[in-house]
């Protein structure tokens, strides 16, 4: 039987998700559903413009306009979403860096 990872949101990431436009929210939800089955689909993040996000991954949404930054806890089958947002001015990575 296929193991599904549980998606957990950082409180601020949940606010970011809730504030997305309806159509974008649906696209983010679809990507999160893919991650539940295959958490390693996203690209590894390392040092992003001075933000050390080693151990975290990013998943693109909406033609790379939106990014989901997350970590994986294999031992308990959990994906922790720490930031969702646009890449503009590296905000999504700055927010993620503050939350780790």
Q: What is the pLDDT of residues 23-76, one digit of tens each?
A: 999 999 999 999 999 999 999 999 878 899 999 999 999 988 999 999 999 999
- Whether residue 84 contacts residue 46, with contact meaning beta carbons closer than 8 Å, is answered with no
Q: Residues 29, 41, 71, 91: is their CA dihedral positive or negative?
A: negative
Which domain, by its residues, includes 68? 6-99
Which pair of tokens denotes residue 27?
């696209």
- CATH number of residue 11's parent domain: 3.30.2310.20
Residue with token string 């990013």:
58
Helices 11-18, 91-99: axis angle to 10 degrees equals 150
**Mean pLDDT for the stretch of residues 80-89:** 91
1 assigned to some structural domain: no
* Domain count of the fold of the chain: 1
**Catalytic amino acids?**
58, 87
39 assigned to some structural domain: yes
Strand-pair partners of 98: none
Q: Which residues contact 91 (CB under 8 A, 6 or more apart)?
A: 85
Indicate the pLDDT class of residue 1, thresholds 50, 70 and 90.
Answer: low
């Amino acid at each position: 039987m296929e193991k599904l990872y549980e998606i957990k949101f950082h409180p601020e990431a949940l606010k970011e998700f809730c504030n997305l436009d309806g159509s974008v929210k649906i696209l983010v939800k679809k990507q999160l559903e893919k991650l539940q089955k295959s958490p390693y689909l996203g690209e590894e993040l390392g040092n992003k413009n001075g933000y050390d996000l080693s151990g975290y991954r990013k998943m693109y949404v909406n033609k790379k306009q939106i990014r989901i930054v997350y970590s994986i806890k294999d031992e308990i089958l959990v994906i922790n979403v720490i930031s969702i947002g646009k890449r503009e001015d590296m905000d999504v990575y700055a927010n993620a860096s503050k939350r780790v």
